[in-house]
C-alpha cells in the first residue's frame, strides 16, 4: 500500500510504498493480546511481602499450659490464628511474573500493530527529522500543522536521535523510541505513529525478515 509523505512544515510532499510484509499482514487480536500481557508481566515487580509463622518474631514459649485452664490449646502466639501472627499463603517478594515471549510471535504481533496503524490512518511519514534547531516549539508546531486526528503519539526515529528526544521530552502524550525498538505496548498505548522515510525502511529491514 502507498502512504502520504509530509515535510517538516506539515504539508504533503509525495508518497511512499509500504512493504506488505510489515504493514500488510493479517491481524490476529488474540496473538497481540497475549504478547501485550506477557510484556506487562515482564515489567511487573513483586513488592508485596508477608511473613509466615516461622518468620514472625517472638512466640517461642507456649502461651499457657496445655490442660487445666479451660481455654483452647495453643502452642505459639505466632500461629496464623492469632492477631499479629504469621500469614498463611501470603504474597512473597521472591515471586516472579516473568513470561517468555517467542521472538517470532513478538515480531508478528508488532507487524500486526503496525498494519493496524497504517490501515487505520494512524501512521504518518515525514521526509526526515532534520530540524534547524532542537526546539520543543518546532516539534509542537509540526504536530499542529500535520492533519492529525489522534491525540497521543509514538515517534519512531531511525537509530537514536538525541535531537528529537530533546525536542519531545517536554511534550505531553508524546513518546520517542528507535524504530528498531518499537514494541506492542508502545504501539497500543499511543493512538498514532509518526516516523520518517528512513524509519519506515528501518522497520521493514528489521521486521520484514522471514
Neighbouring-strand partners of residue 124: 194
Q: State how beta strands 153-157 and 12-17 pair.
A: unpaired
Residue with cell 518468620: 55
pLDDT of residue 133: 87
Work out the end-to-end distance of the chain between its first and last CA atoms, rounded to an integer number of angstroms: 19
pLDDT of residue 209: 76
Q: What is the pLDDT along the chain (210 residues), one digit of tens a residue?
A: 899 999 999 999 999 999 999 999 999 999 999 999 999 999 998 899 999 999 999 888 899 999 999 999 999 999 999 999 999 999 999 888 899 999 999 999 999 999 999 999 999 999 999 998 889 999 999 999 999 999 999 999 999 999 999 999 999 999 999 999 999 999 999 999 999 999 999 999 999 876
pLDDT of residue 46: 87
Task: Return the SS3 of 4.
Answer: strand
Diameter over CA atoms, the chain = 95
Class at the top of the CATH hierarchy for domain 2-44+97-207: alpha beta
Q: Which three cell numbers stand for residue 155?
A: 515517534
- pTM comes to 0.82
Residues 6+ apart with CB under 8 A from 77: 58, 59, 63, 84, 85
CB 27 within 8 A of CB 116: yes
C-alpha distance from residue 177 to each of 35, 57, 161, 193 (Å): 19, 49, 9, 11
Domains of the chain: which residue ranges?
A: 2-44+97-207, 48-96
What is the secondary structure of 135-200 as a DSSP string?
A: -HHHHHHHHHHS----S-EEEEESS--HHHHHHHTTSTTEEEEEGGG--HHHHHHSSEEEEEHHHH
pLDDT of residue 210: 62
Q: Which three cell numbers stand for residue 210?
A: 522471514
pLDDT of residue 85: 94
Amino acid at each position: 500500500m502507498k502512504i502520504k509523505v509530509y515535510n517538516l512544515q506539515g504539508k504533503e510532499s509525495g508518497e511512499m510504498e509500504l512493504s506488505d510484509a510489515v504493514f500488510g499482514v493479517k491481524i490476529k487480536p488474540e496473538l497481540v493480546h497475549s504478547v501485550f500481557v506477557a510484556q506487562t508481566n515482564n515489567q511487573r515487580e513483586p513488592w508485596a511481602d508477608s511473613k509466615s509463622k516461622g518468620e514472625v518474631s517472638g512466640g517461642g514459649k507456649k502461651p499457657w499450659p496445655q490442660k487445666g485452664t479451660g481455654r483452647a490449646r495453643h502452642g505459639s502466639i505466632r500461629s496464623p490464628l492469632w492477631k499479629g501472627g504469621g500469614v498463611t499463603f501470603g504474597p512473597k517478594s521472591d515471586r516472579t511474573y516473568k513470561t517468555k515471549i517467542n521472538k517470532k510471535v513478538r515480531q508478528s504481533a508488532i507487524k500486526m500493530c503496525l498494519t493496524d496503524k497504517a490501515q487505520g490512518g494512524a501512521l504518518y511519514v515525514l521526509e526526515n527529522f532534520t530540524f534547524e534547531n532542537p526546539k520543543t516549539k518546532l516539534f509542537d508546531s509540526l504536530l499542529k500543522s500535520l492533519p492529525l486526528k489522534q491525540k497521543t503519539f509514538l515517534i519512531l526515529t531511525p537509530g537514536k536521535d538525541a535531537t528529537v528526544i530533546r525536542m519531545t521530552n517536554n511534550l505531553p502524550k508524546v513518546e520517542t523510541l528507535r524504530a528498531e525498538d518499537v514494541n506492542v505496548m508502545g504501539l497500543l498505548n499511543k493512538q498514532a505513529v509518526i516516523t520518517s522515510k528512513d524509519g519506515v525502511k528501518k522497520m521493514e529491514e528489521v521486521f520484514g525478515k522471514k
